[in-house]
Structure 1
């Protein structure tokens, strides 16, 4: 395959990932629709300045254009059965989304706290940030010297370096979708 074809296929893939038509990209970049079409077909090799002008309309740098991995190498979608339970307690279930994904920068959990369950008397503390939204039930969250009961629809966000604790003081299962970065599991 020729370099022109590689650039053309890459441009077409980038354009589609960003949800742009050839016409919209050409309008944004100030080039003709035909120019975009010819580049994508590998029939014309754009100059660096032309390619930069087109990529600025996306926006994307030339270095990103040539180095970004446009094809997902890991799974993208996960069924409930593909999310392992990483709980350490029988009363708390934590299902990890994308646990097998290499180089994860974020951890997303689907958490279930049985009535009366808590994360322990010792406060949790780790690097990063975390946040979540209560989907069902209620949970008492202690962060440092602050304590609050959150109900369905309420959320939280804090620095994970502050000692914290989760406690289901309600009478039904509490369900939370949470995220923290960097991953701790």
Structure 2
């Protein structure tokens, strides 16, 4: 596996959007000097800075962490999925089931331990989401309602709808979902 080069990925996305360093810096709310240092690899961006840059480029943050080595492998093996873990609770994880998020759809597996939730607060994203519960039971807080979903149930979540997932069972809950456009 080759070494991850976030700076190269940021530069490539900036150039693909035909933006100068100064233009992207202004859109992202960072200084051109900082962005230049990040792109040269002489400064490491914080997660918040990466979020600002990804929002300005209108791409998921996850794209900065993907290496392309020539011809892209279209198969994602079970033991080599890219995982997104959260510092506040490393038992909760998303696994990317698509090779990357460069296409128009993103396919993920969300694993929620017993009595845990996907976030503290309801959140929304611009993508339309369809989810299918493959293990356990979950409460979906969707806008002003709570929807109980069991293994085999599915749900469509409209774009920009506030929501969060909560595992109400005593076993791990697993949910497969697709989001378009990608939002991670």
Q: Is the TM-score greater than 0.5?
A: yes
Residues 92-121 of structure 1: CA deviation (Å, up to 9, x unaligned) = 1211123436x3211111111100111223
From 74, 93, 99, the counterpart of 2:72: 74
Structure 1 CA distance for aligned equivalents of residues 116 and 125 of structure 2: 21
Structure 2 CA distance for aligned equivalents of residues 93 and 144 of structure 1: 23
The SS at the match of 2:82 is coil
CA RMSD of aligned residues (A): 1.5
| Cα contact 1:110–1:177 (8 A) shared by 2 | yes
Matched with 1:85 is 83
The SS at the match of 2:79 is helix
| Cα contact 2:98–2:108 (8 A) shared by 1 | no
Matched with 1:49 is none
| Cα contact 1:91–1:117 (8 A) shared by 2 | no
* Unmatched tracts of structure 1, length 5 or more: 1-72
| Cα contact 1:134–1:151 (8 A) shared by 2 | yes
After the TM superposition, which residues 1-185 of structure 1 pair with which residues of structure 2 at under 5 Å, given as runs?
73-88=71-86, 89-100=89-100, 103-185=102-184
Residues 122-163 of structure 1: CA deviation (Å, up to 9, x unaligned) = 211110200111001001001101211100000110113010
Structure 2 CA distance for aligned equivalents of residues 82 and 160 of structure 1: 30
Structure 2 CA distance for aligned equivalents of residues 76 and 123 of structure 1: 33
Structure 2 CA distance for aligned equivalents of residues 117 and 77 of structure 1: 31
TM-score (normalised: structure 1): 0.57
Runs of 4 or more off by more than 6 Å in structure 1?
none
Structure 2 CA distance for aligned equivalents of residues 160 and 99 of structure 1: 23
Question: 1:82 Cα shift?
Answer: 2.3
State which structure, 1 or 2, has the greater radius of gyration over its C-alpha atoms: 1
